[in-house]
Amino acid sequence: MSLHQLLLKQQAKIAKQWFGRTVETYSPEASLAFTRQKNPFDNPVGHTLAKETAAIVALLIEGSDPEELRLHLLPIIRMRAVQEFTPAQAISFVYLLKLIIREELASELDGAGLEQELWHFEMRIDRMALLAFDIYSDCQRILCDVRLNEMKRNVANLWKRAFGDVDVDPSEALDPNCSETCGVE
């Protein structure tokens, strides 16, 4: 039996295990909540993790292109970026899939001569991890932009309270030499 056939046979079990291990990367309280509640409105994180991990497993087995994987990684990574995971923590769930596959298929892989196929499949997972890191970096950049823009708005509002409706660009208000350019002493 080929690795592809073994993976297809165990696909649902692998996806369920991966979801479970991914949920375990959260706090015990959050993990419990993510696995208990099945309603997507009451549990958007758990629902998204279950749906997207299953889709990713199917896409990896099919050998689909990176753009399709990106579409299913994006919701997971976006959540993990907002939840302030470190880059390593945010991406670590991807590597759990390699471990799960080796555990689930251990008896079938032993002496089956599938090392080359397994190596190629694990390379797909490694490429997916790099893609996940790119997504995480993009999410962090967007979050930084949002925070910076909010800071600029706050400074502009403070400026207006302190000095009235003097028209000033918020980015100038952050300049330490602003008193010279804004006419304030």
d(CA 105, CA 37): 29
Which pLDDT score is estimated for 179?
52
Task: Tell me if 97 is assigned to some domain.
Answer: yes
Task: Tell me if 30 is assigned to some domain.
Answer: yes
Clarify whether residues 130 and 164 are in a common domain. no
Clarify whether residues 11 and 50 are in a common domain. yes
Clarify whether residues 23 and 44 are in a common domain. yes
Clarify whether residues 13 and 83 are in a common domain. yes
Clarify whether residues 82 and 168 are in a common domain. no
Task: Tell me if 141 is assigned to some domain.
Answer: no
Which pLDDT score is estimated for 103?
96
Clarify whether residues 94 and 164 are in a common domain. no
| Domain finish residue from 116, 136, 156 | 136
Task: Tell me if 178 is assigned to some domain.
Answer: yes
Number of domains in the chain: 2
Which pLDDT score is estimated for 119?
96
Which pLDDT score is estimated for 184?
46
Read out DSSP for 81-134? HHTT--HHHHHHHHHHHHHHHHHHTHHHHTTSS-HHHHHHHHHHHHHHHHHHHH
Clarify whether residues 84 and 52 are in a common domain. yes
Per-position pLDDT tens, the chain of length 185: 899 999 999 999 999 999 999 999 999 999 999 998 888 898 999 999 999 999 999 999 999 889 999 999 999 999 999 998 999 999 999 999 999 999 999 999 888 889 999 999 999 999 999 999 999 999 999 988 888 888 888 887 887 888 777 665 655 555 555 555 444 44
Domain with 178, as residue range(s), is 146-182
Clarify whether residues 62 and 84 are in a common domain. yes
Clarify whether residues 150 and 132 are in a common domain. no
Instruction: Copy the structure tokens of residue 29.
Output: 């309280």
Taking alpha carbons only, the member of 99, 83, 84 closest to residue 20 is: 99
d(CA 31, CA 90): 15
Which pLDDT score is estimated for 71?
97
Clarify whether residues 35 and 110 are in a common domain. yes
